């Protein structure tokens, strides 16, 4: 029950102040005391009215009425607190209530306005109509592509014996993305395997038939078959490493691995490829610094090998690849820099996706699977580090890994 303003606490005090002021003025006139008492009365009036200003009240929401009954404040609070968008409409699909999660997702939703004013999806409106006409429940997938791609699973349900329809939404954006990534991954992996397999089968058939007696062709074709089979083996090994890394993502490696000898060892391993491409391998290691990290030696080897190999394969035209190692506080920075054509900015955020290649043909020719940087990212994540790729002004590429330095007491 609401009380008239004069009987609320501030209202009462104000009424009292006016009465006291009037009394003081009356006494002043009666006693002919003149200025002093009238002055006091005015002061009292000003002070009381000024001090007892009504407290600014936040506008309380209109009462929520469901099927003619006013819902309790607790019920409303519970609806407000629901993390998923929840809307109540009447039988004519006019919004009766929309919780904060729903107005955040669909800012146009307002009590008293038709739901269709804020949510125009034809499937949703058709389902709502079916429920209005008597169907008990309907579920639809709401997919929006602009301005951002997002999706919801929407359940529309008529409440028992009521005129109220409950529209509840579950955000399925993330789940759909994961599902799409899984489907893409399977499609990519099969495609990558199918190409060398088709080539192997083609050559085997040629060797069984037309080239049966051709000695020279046999040697050449068998070489190709061996190369393709090696490519498939590599792809399968990469896929296995990825799934192993995913499985062990939460186990933190603990070995002490000095990055200085590791980089130098990889320079030896990749020296042949570098000289084949006319690339000079150079290093710049911070002197006197402890450059060991906490890690898994084999994984770190794999990581750094792919970065140096990429620099030689894709940036080799610059004639030089630099490895720089330095320490900053508790972090070790390893930067591999090449002076090749660089990478256009739109590709950079996608390089660590599985099978993503700037130039698929070039990578295939180089024997790449497009899984290298995806594996690198997993390794760095397992080591609680960061992987950064930069190509300032597309003048070469810098790939940097930042890893936690080895601590003796760990």
Give how many residues touch ligand ATP by CB under 6 A.
21
Read out DSSP for 242-304? Answer: HHHHHHTTTSPP-EEEEHHHHHHHHHHHTHHHHHHTT-EEEEEE-TT---EEEE-HHHHHHHH
Q: How far is the CB of 180 from Mg ion (least distance, A)?
A: 24
Q: Give whichever of 101 and 303 is closer to ligand ATP, judged by the CB atom.
A: 303
**Hey, which residues between 221 and 240 contact ligand ATP (CB under 6 A)?**
238
Q: How far is the CB of 371 from Mg ion (least distance, A)?
A: 8
Whether the Cβ atoms of residue 156 and residue 137 lie closer than 8 Å to each other: yes
**Site stretch for ligand ATP (CB under 6 A), options 87-95, 129-137, 280-288, 352-360:** 352-360
Which of ligand ATP, Mg ion, none does residue 151 bind to, with CB < 5 to 8 Å depending on kind?
none
| Selection from 312, 226, 236, 235 nearest residue 269 by Cα | 312
DSSP-derived secondary structure letter, 91: T
**Site stretch for Mg ion (CB under 5 A), options 217-225, 226-234, 236-244, 365-373:** 365-373
Distances (CA, A) of 313 to 349, 354, 383, 394: 20, 19, 26, 16
Q: For the chain, how many residues are written?
A: 410
The residues facing 358 across adjacent strands are none
Which residue's entry shows tokens 């609680």? 384
Distances (CA, A) of 22 to 54, 213, 365: 22, 127, 100
Q: Give whichever of 8 and 324 is closer to ligand ATP, judged by the CB atom.
A: 324
Q: Which of 87, 274, 351, 380 binds ligand ATP (CB under 6 A)?
A: 351
Distances (CA, A) of 221 to 126, 227, 234, 367, 368: 62, 10, 20, 18, 21
Q: How far is the CB of 236 from Mg ion (least distance, A)?
A: 16
Whether the Cβ atoms of residue 267 and residue 281 lie closer than 8 Å to each other: yes
Which of Mg ion, ligand ATP, none does residue 274 bind to, with CB < 5 to 8 Å depending on kind?
none
Q: Is 310 in the site for ligand ATP (CB under 6 A)?
A: yes
Q: Give whichever of 165 and 351 is closer to ligand ATP, judged by the CB atom.
A: 351
As given in the structure block, the two tokens for residue 19 are 């009465």
Which of ligand ATP, Mg ion, none does residue 397 bind to, with CB < 5 to 8 Å depending on kind?
ligand ATP
Q: Give whichever of 189 and 373 is closer to ligand ATP, judged by the CB atom.
A: 373
Whether the Cβ atoms of residue 41 and residue 47 lie closer than 8 Å to each other: no
**Hey, which residues between 158 and 217 contact ligand ATP (CB under 6 A)?**
none
Q: How far is the CB of 309 from Mg ion (least distance, A)?
A: 6
Regarding beta strands 320-328 and 280-285, do their DSSP bridges make them parallel or antiparallel, or are they unpaired? Answer: parallel
Coil, helix or strand for 71? coil
Q: Is 310 in the site for Mg ion (CB under 5 A)?
A: yes
* CB-based closest residue to ligand ATP: 372
Q: Give whichever of 85 and 340 is closer to ligand ATP, judged by the CB atom.
A: 340
Interhelix angle 215-247/173-208, nearest 10 degrees: 160
Which of ligand ATP, Mg ion, none does residue 168 bind to, with CB < 5 to 8 Å depending on kind?
none
The CA distance from 33 to 344, in Å, is 91
Site track for Mg ion across 371-390, x = CB under 5 A: -x------------------
**Site stretch for ligand ATP (CB under 6 A), options 52-60, 64-72, 92-100, 356-364:** 356-364
Q: Which of 281, 373, 387, 402 binds ligand ATP (CB under 6 A)?
A: 373
Which of ligand ATP, Mg ion, none does residue 340 bind to, with CB < 5 to 8 Å depending on kind?
ligand ATP
Residues with Cβ < 8 Å from 309, sequence gap 6 or more? 270, 273, 372
Q: Is 340 in the site for Mg ion (CB under 5 A)?
A: no
Q: Give whichever of 114 and 341 is closer to ligand ATP, judged by the CB atom.
A: 341
Q: How far is the CB of 190 from Mg ion (least distance, A)?
A: 21
Q: Give whichever of 259 and 373 is closer to Mg ion, judged by the CB atom.
A: 373
Whether the Cβ atoms of residue 333 and residue 399 lie closer than 8 Å to each other: no
The residues facing 292 across adjacent strands are 258
Distance of CA 171 to the CA centre of its chain: 14
Contacting residues toward ligand ATP, per CB under 6 A: 238, 306, 310-311, 314-315, 338, 340, 343, 351, 357-359, 363, 368-373, 397
Contacting residues toward Mg ion, per CB under 5 A: 306, 310, 372
């Amino acid at each position: 029950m609401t009380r008239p303003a004069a009987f609320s606490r501030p209202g009462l005090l104000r009424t009292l102040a006016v009465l006291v002021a009037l009394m003081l003025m009356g006494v002043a006139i009666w006693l002919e005391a003149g200025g002093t008492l009238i002055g006091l009365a005015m002061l009292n009036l000003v002070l009381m009215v000024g001090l007892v200003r009504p407290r600014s009240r936040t506008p309380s929401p209109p009462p929520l009425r469901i099927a003619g009954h006013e819902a309790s404040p607790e019920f409303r609070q519970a609806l407000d607190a629901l993390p998923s968008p929840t809307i109540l409409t009447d039988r004519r699909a006019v919004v009766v209530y929309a919780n904060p999660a729903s107005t955040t997702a669909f800012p146009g939703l307002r009590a008293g306005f038709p739901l269709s004013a804020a949510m125009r999806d034809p499937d949703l409106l058709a389902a709502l109509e079916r429920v209005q006409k008597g169907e008990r429940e309907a579920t639809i997938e709401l997919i929006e592509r602009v301005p951002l791609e997002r999706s919801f699973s929407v359940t529309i349900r008529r409440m028992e014996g009521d005129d109220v329809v409950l529209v509840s939404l579950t955000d399925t954006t993330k789940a759909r993305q994961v599902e799409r990534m899984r489907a893409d991954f399977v499609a990519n992996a099969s495609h990558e395997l199918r190409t060398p397999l088709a080539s192997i089968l083609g050559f085997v058939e040629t060797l069984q038939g037309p080239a049966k007696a051709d000695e020279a062709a046999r040697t050449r074709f068998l070489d190709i078959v061996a190369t393709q089979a090696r490519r498939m083996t590599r792809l399968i090994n990469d896929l296995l490493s990825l799934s192993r890394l995913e499985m062990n993502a939460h186990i933190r490696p603990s070995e002490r691995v000095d990055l200085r000898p590791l980089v130098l060892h990889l320079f030896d391993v990749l020296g042949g490829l570098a000289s084949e491409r006319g690339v000079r391998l150079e290093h710049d290691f911070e002197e006197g610094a402890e450059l060991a990290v906490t890690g898994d030696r084999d994984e770190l080897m794999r990581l750094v090998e792919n970065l140096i190999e990429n620099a030689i394969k894709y940036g080799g035209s610059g004639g030089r690849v630099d490895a720089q190692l330095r320490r900053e506080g508790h972090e070790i920075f390893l930067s591999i820099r090449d002076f090749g054509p660089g990478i256009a900015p739109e590709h950079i955020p996608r390089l660590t996706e599985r099978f993503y290649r700037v130039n698929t043909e070039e990578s295939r020719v180089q024997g790449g699977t497009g899984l290298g940087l995806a594996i690198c990212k997993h390794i760095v994540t397992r080591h609680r580090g960061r992987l950064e790729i930069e190509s300032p002004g597309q003048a070469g590429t810098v790939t940097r890994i930042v890893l936690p330095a080895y601590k003796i007491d760990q």
